[in-house]
Structure 1
Amino acid sequence: MSKAQRGQSVRDRIKSQREAEKKQEQRKRVVTYATVGVVALAAIGAGWLFAANQSKPEETAQGLAPVTIQGDGSAAMGNAGVEAPVIDIYEDFQCPACKQLEETSGATFKNLAAEGKAKVVFHPVTIFPQQMNNGITRANSTRAAAAARCITDGKQWMAFHDKLFATQPEEHLEGFTTDQLIALGKEAGVTAPDFATCVTSQKNAQGHLANSDQVMKAAKLDGTPTVKLNGKDMDQDVTFTPSRLRQTVLDAAK
């Protein structure tokens, strides 16, 4: 082998070695990136799982606390002797966000009352102006709230309340007709003999609207749902996160 050939052979070996080292380094980087990616995905997954658990609705753990229907159309839920903390829920039966609150945190409110951890007061209001959707949305809300006022039994009122949110019509469509409300009352177990007549006549509609205006002014409502704890507005990040909602109420009871 000539000197030139030997020189070329050395260069070739060096080149081959460098290429091998380069490939090995690339493989190391791929493994490192993959490991980092797995760790990152695991962190993201853990964060998502934590957030999901935080927002997971509770199951209704036991029977309802006693419910008392009050003269202004509100319903107070709580065990005997429990007067604090007080949770006030201002809601509109036609409000989509109120339906979402019921689906997300409704069981937590009920459980806290049943456990004797709080007194919960539901305030049905009509927040929508007459001009919205040619008055359709406001009319839906008013009919539903007026029908709820036809019920004097607390347990039946609560069942009807839940039915209204479960069957809430779209805002731009006429819904909660008197026939539908009567049917929902039957499904909810309403036994008042005059319920159908009361709903059909809508005799409580004007009283509801007048009281609704007073309540919204007194509570300084900007929208629904609004939840107050001992008279102070609660952040929606709390009210729509059952675990945080529960802890906030428990802390207020200390």
Structure 2
Amino acid sequence: MSKSTRQRSARERLAEERRRQAIRDKQRKLIVGVLSGVLVAAVVVVVAVLVVNRSSQSDQKAVAYTGPLAPISRQSDGSILMSKQDVTQPTLEIYEDFQCPMCKRFEERVGDKVKSLAAKGKVRVVYRPFQLFKAPDFQEPVPSVSRRGANAAMCAPADHWPSYAKTLFAYQPEEGKEGFADKELLNWARDLGFYTPAFESCVTGAQKAGDVDKSTQYAAAQNVTGTPTLKVNGQPLSQETVQQIFGDPSSLEQLLTKSATSTASASPSPSASKQ
């Protein structure tokens, strides 16, 4: 074989090898592209599943109250009584709306103090939730949110009131925004361990709407025009006094002690009543 023939043959073999290498490279790129597409599709599926699962669950977990408590019962008018059995005075009434920002602040600042004083037998507490925000004075969705919160609170068992009310305030919707959706109201009951089909029907069917209306009418009859309104032995506390309590929750105990002393001194003694 001549030298030129050998060189031409070598060039042909090199060209053939390059052609085959090019084919292999193309096949490898195709496989990588397919695998990448499969991987992206898998990621999309996983993300979609996570989104669906998250949308079916509430990200907002209920806030349980774990401090001291006096016995709790629901009164015939729908209000909540928190008091030791032998405590009759002083009585602290709290008129509140779960859509009210100042009520939320009161719960955060003073709520635990109120419960602690009741547990110590220093006060008889009556919680009076009602619907302050009503149409046409307030535009939707504020009235509906206010009403749903009050209805759900009245559906909750009395012994779970402290935790459920605390949760409603903790996740209070911003005024003008939707909130207190049925899913949230029911999930919080599940978190706190008192969910039942009856509770679900009460919430979704607004079965306590009549009680909400009655409590709202009662608040109006008591000249309650804002929340939170605090009354001690039937007498409303001034705005200055309420602000003082906001700033220094311990001042509430001093006020109640003074009220109890005044009530006791104003009451006739047994010997005096016989004269």
- TM-score normalised by structure 2 residue count: 0.66
Give the C-alpha shift of residue 191 in structure 1. 4.0
Residue 244 (structure 2) pairs with residue 248 (structure 1): no
Give the Cα–Cα distance (whole angstroms) in 2 for the partners of residues 251 and 101 of structure 1. Answer: 21
Please tell me whether the aligned partners of residues 159 and 189 of structure 1 are also in contact (alpha carbons under 8 angstroms): no
Supply the AA of the counterpart residue of 1:101: F
Which of 194, 198, 201 is the aligned partner of 2:202? 198
Give the C-alpha shift of residue 62 in structure 1. 4.8
Supply the RMSD in Å over aligned alpha carbons.
1.8
Please list, as runs of the form range in 1=range in 2, the aligned pairs for 1:58-69 lying within 5 A after superposition.
62-69=67-74
Residue 83 (structure 2) pairs with residue 78 (structure 1): yes
**How many residues in Structure 1 have an aligned counterpart in Structure 2?**
193
Residue 154 (structure 2) pairs with residue 130 (structure 1): no
Alpha-carbon spacing, 1:114–1:206, altered in 2? closer, same or farther (3 Å): same
Q: Structure 2: which 5+ residue stretches go unaligned? A: 1-64, 262-275
Give the Cα–Cα distance (whole angstroms) in 2 for the partners of residues 193 and 79 of structure 1. Answer: 31
What CA deviation, in whole Å up to 9, does each residue of 1:143-195 have, x standing for no partner? 111112212x3221221111101111111101001111111112233244411
Supply the AA of the counterpart residue of 1:238: Q
Give the Cα–Cα distance (whole angstroms) in 2 for the partners of residues 91 and 62 of structure 1. Answer: 21
Residue 150 (structure 2) pairs with residue 145 (structure 1): yes
Give the C-alpha shift of residue 61 in structure 1. 9.2
Give the Cα–Cα distance (whole angstroms) in 2 for the partners of residues 186 and 76 of structure 1. Answer: 24
Give the Cα–Cα distance (whole angstroms) in 2 for the partners of residues 228 and 124 of structure 1. Answer: 14
Give the C-alpha shift of residue 86 in structure 1. 0.1
Give the C-alpha shift of residue 207 in structure 1. 3.3
1:224 alignment partner, SS class:
coil
Please tell me whether the aligned partners of residues 150 and 195 of structure 1 are also in contact (alpha carbons under 8 angstroms): yes
Give the Cα–Cα distance (whole angstroms) in 2 for the partners of residues 195 and 168 of structure 1. Answer: 20
Q: Structure 1: which 5+ residue stretches go unaligned? A: 1-59
1:185 paired residue number: 189
Percent of aligned positions that are identical: 38
Give the Cα–Cα distance (whole angstroms) in 2 for the partners of residues 72 and 155 of structure 1. Answer: 16
Give the Cα–Cα distance (whole angstroms) in 2 for the partners of residues 70 and 171 of structure 1. Answer: 30
2:242 paired residue number: 236
Give the C-alpha shift of residue 134 in structure 1. 2.6
**4+ aligned runs moved over 6 Å, structure 1:** none
